[in-house]
């Protein structure tokens, strides 16, 4: 008999893990005449010892294709035994070719481009993470995205639930009854996905409950997404098959555990298979379980896993229904697309973990933060005070002075408070503040100038604290973090969402400058002077006309100051006034061209028009020019609606 056996090595595309190897080994091994099978994802080959009189290569190819993989070729493999074949399969992988390196570099460029596009448009809050108010609505999107991975990695299980069942089974399909056939294909998939949702929810609750028994440090919470992100980066590269040797590095269930899982699932119906799926060693699944643990709540853990699993249902259900239309080639391409996605998600998750360590990297600062203004602290007595608003998915940056105790008041409404933005942490100072509706006080003393990151407890929402040597000498770069285009994108139509100093006056919304009232300077003393009233309504007037070549002084009548308007900044002169300290007028300024002034948060703007002769001013032309003017950081945000 042994003399009649022969061996063949089949080259297969689409294998990424030990599960793939087991699936192919099982599919080919069940064929009559096949004695031994050894699959290796590392070198994308399947070694088979068989009796050519009883088994045909065509049947092996078909079995591999039915398992969801593509046969791309074959080569003779005169290997004497399975032991030698195993050694060959686990031996040195194929060297990475130059083409693979170029493909990898191209992939890095694509992923980086996608990362930057999303970062500077919609941000990352919709990507895999536990997020958003009581219901964590965006976790559903996480499920939708990772369902691509589920289909690629566990498609065999999904397919197995939609096949024709044994005769007499109430779910059996009937080729002669199209309607009944559709129902029979739908029901197993519904049962399978229903089992998955139930088991994910239960496991999430259990894991979340365990998290309530002990408290995780901020460093540990940062380490978890960093590790999970690194794992997803590794998984994405392995799925893409660019570096075949990565397939040798894998975590798989011990043989006995894998066999027990298969035995438990075999013949027990789609619902039981779905229930058991929560115990599978799946990367995204385990990542979500880690987040469920971090919630420290049975309810929050169960809810997050419920919504995550619910998000995976549409694609898995659809895949099961149209499985008969999917070719092996399509499956392989889908696997590549999933690999790119997993690689991208791993990058995002990794950077979120970094934010939990208090590292305020530029990549962790979505444009929306400064698009609604930077809150500038106000010196009072021996300390300084600053107020910012907390929104459901956003924190705001602030500027404080080094060496002075800070009283930071965070204002949040009950509607904006949720399980993601609460509590807030400042890792560098070891501060963790549980927020309540209303005002929340955080006190600390920055010791040196620099940038300090602060974040939500999960690293999903992050912003920064800019520490400067002197609040009265804030540089333009400290106040302006966005280009006009980025600011427009961040603010949409230009209307913010409320802020630390109340509603923005209608005339100033969206960076506009009211032009109804214009003051022409009057000659006095050494030059010319004008006065601006400052209160909750902004600047009155907001437009001043001065004469070219004559020194000009601008006085500010501080009727009512708040944390937004107390600081007046002159960008073109790179200086400012702290009205709260009684600094109510500028020195005489040399004027030769138009210039502007604005509040410390870049929410209120004024314009100074320079003309040749203030006795002959075309006010209509001035109104038209100022109305069309767009401030460099105009915007309505923290100050209002």
pLDDT of residue 492: 31
Give the mean model confidence (pLDDT) for residues 536-551: 92
Higher pLDDT, 250 or 367: 250
Q: Which of 114-128, 191-205, 379-393, 538-552 is the most confident on average? A: 538-552
Residue 119: other Cβ atoms inside 10 A: 18
pLDDT of residue 443: 93
Q: For helices 139-160 and 178-211, what crossing angle results, to 10°?
A: 130
> ∠ CA(313), CA(317), CA(322), 5° rounding?
155
Residue found under tokens 């930071």: 408
pLDDT tens digits for 171-221? Answer: 443 333 444 456 666 777 788 888 888 988 998 888 887 765 655 555 555
> ∠ CA(23), CA(29), CA(35), 5° rounding?
145
User: What is the C-alpha separation between 35 and 81, in angstroms, rounded?
Assistant: 11
User: What is the C-alpha separation between 41 and 17, in angstroms, rounded?
Assistant: 6
* Strands 567-570 vs 575-578: parallel, antiparallel or unpaired: antiparallel
pLDDT tens digits for 484-496? Answer: 333 223 223 333 3
Residue 166: other Cβ atoms inside 10 A: 8
pLDDT of residue 366: 38
User: What is the C-alpha separation between 77 and 71, in angstroms, rounded?
Assistant: 16
Strand ordering across the sheet containing 34-40? 34-40, 45-50, 6-13, 70-76
Give the mean model confidence (pLDDT) for residues 28-41: 86
- The answer to which of 100-104, 195-199, 477-481, 577-581 has the lowest mean pLDDT is 100-104
Sign of CA dihedral 142, 425, 388, 409: positive
User: What is the C-alpha separation between 478 and 152, in angstroms, rounded?
Assistant: 47
Nearest Cα to 639, choosing from 523, 496, 506, 489?
Answer: 496
User: Does residue 624 carry a pLDDT above 90?
Assistant: yes
Which residues does residue 452 pair with via DSSP β-bridges, in sequence order? Answer: 465
pLDDT of residue 123: 46
pLDDT of residue 213: 61
Domain edges within the chain: 2-89, 98-164+177-355, 367-481, 507-627
CA dihedral 582, 584, 587, 589 (to 10 degrees): 150
Q: Collect all residues with Cβ–Cβ distance below 8 Å to 397 and sequence separation of at least 6.
A: 365, 369, 370, 374, 375, 463, 464, 465, 466, 481
Higher pLDDT, 140 or 586: 586
Nearest Cα to 344, choosing from 150, 136, 100, 117?
Answer: 117
Residue found under tokens 């005489």: 588
Q: What are phi and psi of 314, to 5 degrees?
A: -55, -50
Assigned token pair, 443: 């006190």
Assigned token pair, 192: 């399978």
User: Does residue 308 carry a pLDDT above 90?
Assistant: no
- % residues pLDDT > 90 (the chain): 15
Say whether 507-627 and 367-481 share the same fold: yes
Residue found under tokens 């699944």: 285
User: By the 8 A CB rule, do 255 and 268 touch?
Assistant: no
User: What is the C-alpha separation between 285 and 290, in angstroms, rounded?
Assistant: 9
CATH topology assigned to domain 367-481: Immunoglobulin-like (2.60.40)
ω into 423 cis (within 30 of 0): yes
Higher pLDDT, 306 or 459: 306
pLDDT of residue 140: 76
Q: What are phi and psi of 343, to 5 degrees?
A: -60, -45
Give DSSP secondary structure letters for 44-55. Answer: TEEEEEE-TTT-
- The band of 610, judged by pLDDT with boundaries at 50, 70 and 90, is very high
* Strands 595-599 vs 567-570: parallel, antiparallel or unpaired: antiparallel
- What is the CATH number that goes with domain 507-627? 2.60.40.420
Assigned token pair, 486: 């980025």
User: What is the C-alpha separation between 388 and 377, in angstroms, rounded?
Assistant: 10
Element (H, E) at 258: helix 255-265
- The band of 152, judged by pLDDT with boundaries at 50, 70 and 90, is low
Domain 2-89 falls under CATH 3.30.70.100:
yes
Q: For helices 139-160 and 283-295, what crossing angle results, to 10°?
A: 140
């Amino acid at each position: 008999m042994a003399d009649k056996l022969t061996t063949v090595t089949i080259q297969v595309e689409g294998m990424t893990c030990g599960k793939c190897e087991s699936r192919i080994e099982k599919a080919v091994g069940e064929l009559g005449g096949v004695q031994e099978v050894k699959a290796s994802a590392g070198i994308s080959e399947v070694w088979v010892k068989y009796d050519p009189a009883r088994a045909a290569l065509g049947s092996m190819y078909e079995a591999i294709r039915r398992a969801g993989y593509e046969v791309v070729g074959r080569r003779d493999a005169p290997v004497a035994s399975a032991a030698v074949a195993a050694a060959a399969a686990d031996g040195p992988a194929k060297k990475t070719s130059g083409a693979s390196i170029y493909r990898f570099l191209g992939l890095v460029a694509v992923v980086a481009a996608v990362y930057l596009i999303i970062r500077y448009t919609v941000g990352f809050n919709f990507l895999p993470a536990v997020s958003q108010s009581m219901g964590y609505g965006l976790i559903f999107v996480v499920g939708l995205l990772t369902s691509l991975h589920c289909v690629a990695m566990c498609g065999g299980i999904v397919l197995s639930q939609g096949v024709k069942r044994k005769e007499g089974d109430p779910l059996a399909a009937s080729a002669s009854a199209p309607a009944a056939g559709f129902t029979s294909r739908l029901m197993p998939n519904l049962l399978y996905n229903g089992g998955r949702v139930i088991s994910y929810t239960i496991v999430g609750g259990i894991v979340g409950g365990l998290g309530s028994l002990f408290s995780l440090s901020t460093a540990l919470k940062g380490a978890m997404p960093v590790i999970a992100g690194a794992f997803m980066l590794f998984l994405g590269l392995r799925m893409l098959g660019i570096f075949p040797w990565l397939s040798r590095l894998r975590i798989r269930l011990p043989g006995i555990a894998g066999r027990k899982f298969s035995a438990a699932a075999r013949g027990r119906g789609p619902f039981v298979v779905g229930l058991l799926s929560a115990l599978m060693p799946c990367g995204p699944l385990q990542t979500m379980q880690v987040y469920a643990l971090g919630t420290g709540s049975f309810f929050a853990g169960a809810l997050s896993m419920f919504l995550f699993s619910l998000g995976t249902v549409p694609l898995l259900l659809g895949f099961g229904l149209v499985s008969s239309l999917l070719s092996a080639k399509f499956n392989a391409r889908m696997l590549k697309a999933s690999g790119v996605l997993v690689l991208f998600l791993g990058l995002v998750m990794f950077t979120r973990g970094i934010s939990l360590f208090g590292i305020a990297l530029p990549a962790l600062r979505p444009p929306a933060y400064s698009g609604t203004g930077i809150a500038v602290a106000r010196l009072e007595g021996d300390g300084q005070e600053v107020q910012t608003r907390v929104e459901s998915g956003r924190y705001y940056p602030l500027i404080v002075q080094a060496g002075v105790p800070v009283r930071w008041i965070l204002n949040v409404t009950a509607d904006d408070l949720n399980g993601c933005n609460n509590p807030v942490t400042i890792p560098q100072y070891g501060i963790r503040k549980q927020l309540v509706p209303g005002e929340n006080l955080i006190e600390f003393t920055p010791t040196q100038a620099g940038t300090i990151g602060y974040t939500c407890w999960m690293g999903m929402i992050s912003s920064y604290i800019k520490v400067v040597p002197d609040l009265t000498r804030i540089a333009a770069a400290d106040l302006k973090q966005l280009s006009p285009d980025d600011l427009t994108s961040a603010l949409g139509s230009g209307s913010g969402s409320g802020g630390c100093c109340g509603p923005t006056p209608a005339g100033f919304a969206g960076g506009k400058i009211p032009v109804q009232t214009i003051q022409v300077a009057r000659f006095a003393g050494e030059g010319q002077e004008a006065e601006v009233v400052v209160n909750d309504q902004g600047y009155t007037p907001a437009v001043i006309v001065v004469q070219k070549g004559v020194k000009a002084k601008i006085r500010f009548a501080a009727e009512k100051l708040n944390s937004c308007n107390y600081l007046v900044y002159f960008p073109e002169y790179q200086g400012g006034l702290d009205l709260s300290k009684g600094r109510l007028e500028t020195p005489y300024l040399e004027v030769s061209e138009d210039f502007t002034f604005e509040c410390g948060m870049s929410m209120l703007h004024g314009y100074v028009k320079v003309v040749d002769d203030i006795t002959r001013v075309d006010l209509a032309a001035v109104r038209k020019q100022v109305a069309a003017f767009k401030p460099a950081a105009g915007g309505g945000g923290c100050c209002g609606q």
